Amino acid sequence: MLKSKTKIQKMFDTISNEYDMLNNIITFGQHKKWKSKVHKLAESQNPKLILDVATGTADIAILLSQIKNCKIIGIDISKKMLSFGQKKIEQLYLNDKIKLETGDVESLKYSDNYFNVVTIGYGVRNFENLELGLMESNRVLKKNGTIIILETSVPQNRFFKKIYNIFSSTIIPLIGKIFSKNPSAYKYLNKSASIFPSGKMFEKILLKVGFRQTQSIELLFGASTIYIAKK
Ligand SMILES: C[S@@+](CC[C@H](N)C(=O)[O-])C[C@H]1O[C@@H](n2cnc3c(N)ncnc32)[C@H](O)[C@@H]1O
């Protein structure tokens, strides 16, 4: 599926005000649990500086801010998603721990070997150039640094795959139709999830762009997966 960066950025701009609410509805609140898992995995690396790529409304950055003596930079191409994130950060008085910046993962402005950890929550499948985005994430990581990626995936088990397919092809577009100003966004998000490489296929891409020691953790029978790898 071809994705133009401008289209993606506009799409997230238009759904930014409903993004958090619809995320809660579509995942039955499960995304919070999965993002907490990303936080715990990141914390186990004792990081001092984390880059949260495709931070959106900053859910993951906010969780990561619980890590002691650690600063977080969150970047995103959608200014509107970031502005909702910034409001949340201000309400929680987290300005000194989290800095949000407009930025494109495919051309990061940070030096080589800069961050201890890079996190990407539900971002990779929206990158226009996936490999370039992952290569840039690798470049800015310190040697032995860790990348933690949370992304939707398709369950391998036939029974759960069937339930997943019915849910994502009928319920998600319906929820989009009822609640969203831009229902086509939910069609795109569903379609892109169904064709995006997952499991071993995604690990192969991580290895190809220079990561090592890849691991996958399946969540909810494989409806989402956390990938962990080292630089
Ligand atoms: C589904 S949202 C995920 C937001 C947040 N991480 C979360 O887990 O709720 C995907 C985000 O990826 C951002 N994005 C897409 N392509 C990007 C790129 N090339 N660089 C940075 N952010 C990008 C979008 O603007 C959007 O905010």
* Domain range summary for the chain, segments of one domain joined by +: 5-230
What are the start-end ranges of the H helices in 73-229? 79-91, 130-140, 158-166, 172-179, 183-195, 200-208
The rounded Å distance from CA 56 to ligand 1 centre is 5
Full pLDDT tens readout for the chain, 231 residues: 556 899 999 999 999 999 999 889 888 899 999 999 999 999 999 999 999 999 999 999 999 999 999 999 999 999 999 999 999 999 999 999 999 999 999 999 999 999 999 999 999 999 999 999 999 999 999 999 999 999 999 888 899 888 888 888 888 888 888 888 788 887 777 778 788 999 999 999 999 999 999 999 999 989 999 999 999
Whether 52 lines ligand 1, by a CB cut-off of 6 Å, is no
Cβ(185) to ligand 1 under 6 A? no
Q: Ligand 1 centroid to 159 CA: how many Å?
A: 30
Rounded to the nearest angstrom, the gap between the alpha carbon of residue 8 and the centroid of all alpha carbons in its chain is 14
Q: Is the pTM above the cut of 0.85? A: yes
The SS3 call for residue 6 is helix
Cα–Cα dist 127/125, whole Å: 6
Domain 5-230 CATH (choose: 3.40.50.150, 3.30.1360.30, 3.30.420.40, 3.40.50.300): 3.40.50.150
